Structure 1
């Protein structure tokens, strides 16, 4: 009996040790990934350097300390390469989204609450993430070819993995959680360079009744009507929103357009951004590029798709 319990105890200790070792490995592994990616987004690591660092990590993942590993890659190694690529790609996009959103928070008016919504888009993060993805894709393909194997990037949209496709889809968040992010219509449309877009809605966390108008009738039957509504943005008014778009030209000058929006709580509250703002520039090619992307953005009040579930959602085709 003592021998039995000793074996059980040793097995438990071994299992705990293995779990701890795996956890430590994954933590160190993720730390290395994140460090490389953050250095890239900080501008201290070039695309070619990222490709080289990723290649070293992938080879270590595939072969460990093995010298002169045989070709071709085994099925298990192919799966390992794909898992590593997916994890690294997802980390690239999540870091891009985190940085984009952290930058956008500075533009929020007043206090954000659950009745409000906002979105920010900086095309710098789109192009940086595309560059990083290109680096790790090239590295994976090169290593696969080196070991007489092919590597193909999966069709993430077909698989419903929007968090792995590109920056435009990653902004929607976790693909397994219902998202209120439907601002981008076609995720394959690339933004203009040096482009920014910000949008926010108002909202009252206390859902107080608002007096929008008042009518009085005097003893002679004369009516007096007072309209208390304005078009100016109010961060506590759920029927209000504001938006701006900007681009920086080659000379470093920023060009910005902005507008306030009033919603009427109807199906027509789903609006295309180009119908509200458009650029007119001496450089017609530049203006066309900007306006083309504006036509790929749509806005709506918080909870719009809960009230009108049959309305067009920009991301439906990806699910």
Structure 2
């Protein structure tokens, strides 16, 4: 009898006497169970209230303190959702310059500790299990690294939006923008997060965690991967449908900015019109027309390679090889081209 457990909600009334022989005390026991049930549920979130059974030791009516096991994902319930939203906001503040690199490192540790404390309180881990702690740190890195890339892409998008409003004073979405500063900041921050992981593994005495493997096997890839270029392609190839980076591993030149506007002139009688391309490389600025022609019989007049547009203005020397290589992988095109060819449905590297 002392080792029996009572599962609330599953005990049939005809089995009461098998659990409590003294019927005169049944009402007293029932009230104690209700009190314990209420106490436990107030510490659980809505998701867990719906799905988890309550376990008690019958002879003393205390919560049976067993470890039920870690969830498949520590970010799969309401606590995890709320933490990921908070991490997303924090990373956007980081790219806005409101958070320092040191603050980010401390925040990563704080989130790991909070997640372990919560999972321990839910009796999903003892708090000292190496595999469970490894899962916490690994999934924390996955979320932080993803939100890092998203925040870099969002900062780039907002800056491009400001350029569009500055030069064209419209709210149209027929533009794309690339600032290599965010590429390098995204890479540097990813490296800093990996260092935060290393510190946590040392503090919690865990084996090493392979961050490359985490990224390679992640399911958080619908909007690109964990790098700036794939997020950029998701924004401007897959959603806006007006620019594409053929190889996402291509390294941009430093101090590089590119703004593209699809149409800045009216159609001529033969369906020709110009887009606009503004490029900054270091201290040099270039403002180029982008000739398009809509024939509706083919797509050859609807796409332009950026290096082909730039090569007459920018010397092709060994020192400029990085610029040339990057711009050769960059193309700009019309929305009609995107619709006709389906390039906006292509993900990852795509060589047309």
TM above 0.5: yes
CA separation in 1, counterparts of 2:99 and 2:128?
31
Structure 2 counterparts to residues 102-117 of structure 1, below 5 A: 102-108=158-164, 109=168, 111-113=170-172, 117=174
CA separation in 2, counterparts of 1:312 and 1:91?
23
In 2 relative to 1, CA 79–185 (structure 1 residues): closer, same or farther, beyond 3 Å? same
What's the counterpart of residue 206 of structure 2? 148
Any conservation in 2 of the 1:195–1:245 contact (CA below 8 Å)?
Answer: yes
What's the counterpart of residue 260 of structure 1? 290
What's the counterpart of residue 217 of structure 1? none
What's the counterpart of residue 129 of structure 1? 186
- Structure 2 unaligned spans of 5+: 1-12, 14-29, 49-76, 121-125
Q: How far is the alpha carbon of 1:187 from its aligned partner?
A: 1.0
Any conservation in 2 of the 1:163–1:170 contact (CA below 8 Å)?
Answer: yes
CA separation in 2, counterparts of 1:286 and 1:201?
30
CA separation in 2, counterparts of 1:28 and 1:107?
33
Q: For 1:68-106, what per-residue CA distance to the aligned partner results, in whole angstroms no more than 9, with x for missing partners?
A: x986622x3333322222221222122211111111113
CA separation in 1, counterparts of 2:94 and 2:343?
41
What's the counterpart of residue 55 of structure 2? none
Residue 90 of structure 1 pairs with residue 167 of structure 2: no
What's the counterpart of residue 221 of structure 1? none
What's the counterpart of residue 23 of structure 2? none
Secondary structure of the structure 2 residue equivalent to 1:303: helix
Residue 138 of structure 1 pairs with residue 192 of structure 2: no
Q: How far is the alpha carbon of 1:244 from its aligned partner?
A: 1.8
Q: For 1:9-33, what per-residue CA distance to the aligned partner results, in whole angstroms no more than 9, with x for missing partners?
A: x78x9489622897477436633x2
What's the counterpart of residue 219 of structure 1? none
Q: How far is the alpha carbon of 1:42 from its aligned partner?
A: 3.4
Q: Which of 108, 131, 134 lines up with 1:78 in the alignment?
A: 134
Secondary structure of the structure 1 residue equivalent to 2:334: coil
Q: For 1:184-223, what per-residue CA distance to the aligned partner results, in whole angstroms no more than 9, with x for missing partners?
A: 111111211111011121399xxxxx9844xxxxxxxxxx
- Structure 1 unaligned spans of 5+: 205-209, 214-226, 234-240
Secondary structure of the structure 1 residue equivalent to 2:258: strand
In 2 relative to 1, CA 272–82 (structure 1 residues): closer, same or farther, beyond 3 Å? same
Q: How far is the alpha carbon of 1:148 from its aligned partner?
A: 2.9
Q: How far is the alpha carbon of 1:312 from its aligned partner?
A: 11
- Aligned alpha-carbon RMSD (Å): 4.3
Q: Which of 43, 57, 62 lines up with 2:116 in the alignment?
A: 62
Q: Provide TM-score, normalisation by structure 1.
A: 0.68
Secondary structure of the structure 1 residue equivalent to 2:335: coil
CA separation in 2, counterparts of 1:293 and 1:139?
31
What's the counterpart of residue 85 of structure 2? 30
CA separation in 2, counterparts of 1:212 and 1:256?
25
Q: Which of 277, 281, 286 lines up with 1:243 in the alignment?
A: 277
Q: How far is the alpha carbon of 1:167 from its aligned partner?
A: 0.7
Q: How far is the alpha carbon of 1:63 from its aligned partner?
A: 5.0
Q: Which of 45, 52, 60 lines up with 1:18 in the alignment?
A: 45
Q: For 1:156-200, what per-residue CA distance to the aligned partner results, in whole angstroms no more than 9, with x for missing partners?
A: 4676725332011112348xx877365111111121111101112
Q: How far is the alpha carbon of 1:299 from its aligned partner?
A: 1.4
Q: For 1:16-55, what per-residue CA distance to the aligned partner results, in whole angstroms no more than 9, with x for missing partners?
A: 9622897477436633x24542443234544344234323
CA separation in 1, counterparts of 2:116 and 2:129?
12
Secondary structure of the structure 1 residue equivalent to 2:233: coil
CA separation in 2, counterparts of 1:190 and 1:95?
19
Any conservation in 2 of the 1:38–1:95 contact (CA below 8 Å)?
Answer: yes
In 2 relative to 1, CA 195–171 (structure 1 residues): closer, same or farther, beyond 3 Å? same
Whose Rg is larger?
2
Q: Provide TM-score, normalisation by structure 2.
A: 0.62
Q: How far is the alpha carbon of 1:297 from its aligned partner?
A: 0.4
Q: Which of 135, 143, 157 lines up with 1:101 in the alignment?
A: 157
